[in-house]
Amino acid sequence: MNYQYWNSELETMPRPALEALQLNRLKEAVGWALRTSFYRERLGKAGIGSPDDIKSLADLRRIPYTTKQDLRDGFPYGFLSIPREEVVRLHASSGTTGVPTTIYFNRDDIKRWTDNVARCIYGTGCNSADVFQNMINYGLFTGGLGFHAGGEEVGMLVIPSGAGNTTRQFRLMQDFGTTVVHATPSFLLHVEARMREEGVSRESIKLRKAFAGAEPYSEDTRRRIEALLHIDVYNSYGLSEMNGPGVAFECQAKNGLHLWEDRYIGEIIDPDTLEPAPEGETGELVLTCLCREATPILRYRTRDLSSFYTGVCPCGRTHRRLRRITGRTDDMLIINGVNVFPSQIEEVVMSMKEVGNNYLIVVEKEGVLDRLTVKVEVGPDIFMDDTRPLNALRDKIRSTIQASITINPRVELHEGGSLPVSEGKAKRVIDNRPKDI
Ligand code: ADP
Ligand code: ZN
């Protein structure tokens, strides 16, 4: 494999040098943070009144965590650390779990962010010969403009197609010879199903790569997209609190996402005790942003669950790799007392070849008990009026889910293309249970 680096010095920097760089940048970020009253108070209580109070990377642990609630409480300008006149852009999180939070950028912040995204894109083997269709929501959401700028930086021809409008998406691919797309994995599956439905031949498009992210998906879903579209799919992780895309990304070895440690410091903690998780174990990812002056955020509790791989990557990059993010701490459903992550159900359904491209999880109250229903689209080879194979498939899905999560679900089979599709992040869970009072 011919691994290519956007910035070989930074990407392959020996760990001691990388950590020295992190320390310098952490001090700088603490300096930026101390300009806000929020961090002056928080850091002051922890005995940090100046960047010089950070003497080693171990001092990171003296910094208190920042939570989503802190950011919300600071809405709209509480985390802004520079004069308003120096801000050139704002973005907001998509608000999946409540009130959105706002992030501000100055000119240099945008340059650094763009460089991060370019590094990710280039590392997958793209160059100026590529035509890149950015099939994701533009606007306040960071995925649109973030990838757009990164794509231009690499020198690709960028088509700002935005999300949705499925038929137009593959027309654009045909007209302009798109070679790379960026989308949510659920939208990629939807586009593929529609292409099949409308008889678009694979030969009429030149696609060879996709960046898929913004929502959790399983390894089976990746393989499914790769097999159906005959492309390489790279996992892309980011969040608006850390700029957006460009935080962690897979290289061509596709064995975990390199967290760009010259720009972010990552920790994995036990979400209950808030202590560091043992090496290699799953926990909550905590990130410190070293590259944004206008809105410094230190030790942010992402609520995303992951862990670090140990060992080095064959690509030669020295930045540690995160495992695929399986979900958020607050995604967890408690069904009749059993903890269930939607990703466990996705793993089962997406591994079955008879299953189509979409599914939905519904939880309801039935008397005193919780009732889990999994609605699954069937694949194109299964006919809805052929009851025997349908019953067999329903049973297979039911028993495999039960073996995985110990709960016996009701399984409903639906025709391909009939379950709701979201243009942005997929909504996989509908919880109709009355909220506790
Ligand atoms: P919101 O928190 O409102 O969804 P963002 O638009 O910033 O706001 O989304 C960031 C979140 O999206 C991450 O914290 C994570 O939960 C999820 N996410 C992004 N990329 C991935 C990915 N590749 N795998 C799993 N989850 C992802
Ligand atoms: Zn690598």
Distance of CA 235 to the CA centre of its chain: 8
Residue 264 scores a pLDDT above 70: yes
Given 305, 331, 357, which residue is the final one in a domain?
331
Residue 339 scores a pLDDT above 80: yes
pLDDT value of residue 384? 87
The total of structural domains in the chain comes to: 2
Which residue is closest in CA terms to ligand 1's atom 25? 216
The dihedral sign for the CA sequence 387, 393, 397, 398: positive
pLDDT value of residue 330? 86
Give the pLDDT band of residue 419 (cuts 50, 70, 90).
very high
Same domain? For 205 and 109 the reply is: yes
Same domain? For 41 and 65 the reply is: yes
Give the pLDDT band of residue 1 (cuts 50, 70, 90).
confident
How many angstroms separate the alpha carbon of residue 215 from the centre of ligand 1?
Answer: 5
Give the pLDDT band of residue 241 (cuts 50, 70, 90).
very high
Residue located via tokens 């680096």: 5
Same domain? For 348 and 258 the reply is: no
Pocket test for ligand 1, best of 325, 423, 425, 428 (most atoms within 8 A of CB): 325
Residue located via tokens 């850091």: 43
Residues with CB under 6 A from ligand 1: 93-96, 141, 213-216, 235-240, 302, 304, 325, 328
pLDDT in tens, 242-254: 999 999 999 999 9
How high is the mean pLDDT of the chain? Answer: 95
Give the pLDDT band of residue 386 (cuts 50, 70, 90).
confident
pLDDT value of residue 47? 98
CATH number of the domain bearing residue 301: 3.40.50.12780
Give the pLDDT band of residue 94 (cuts 50, 70, 90).
low
Specify which residues 102 forms β-bridges with.
92
**Which atom, in ligand 1's list, is nearest to the CA of 302?**
14
Q: Is residue 437, in this structure, part of any structural domain at all?
A: no
pLDDT in tens, 36-83: 999 999 999 999 999 999 999 999 999 999 999 999 999 999 999 999
**pTM for this prediction:** 0.94
Peptide bond into 76 cis (omega under 30): yes
Same domain? For 323 and 355 the reply is: no
Residue 437 scores a pLDDT above 70: no
Given 331, 352, 380, which residue is the final one in a domain?
331
pLDDT in tens, 116-171: 999 999 999 999 999 999 999 999 999 999 999 999 999 999 999 999 999 999 99
By the 10 Å C-beta count (0-12 exposed, 13-18 middle, 19+ buried), 38 is classed as: middle
Of the ligands numbered here, which is closest to the C-alpha atom of 331? Answer: 1
Segments forming the whole domain that contains residue 49: 1-331
Q: DSSP letter string over 203-257?
A: GG----EEEEESS---HHHHHHHHHHHT-EEEEEEEEGGGTEEEEEEE-TT-SSE
Residue 97 scores a pLDDT above 80: no
Which residue is closest in CA terms to ligand 1's atom 12? 214
Given 290, 311, 331, which residue is the final one in a domain?
331
- Among 96-100, 223-227, 354-358, the range scoring the smallest mean pLDDT is 96-100
What's the mean pLDDT in 340-359? 95
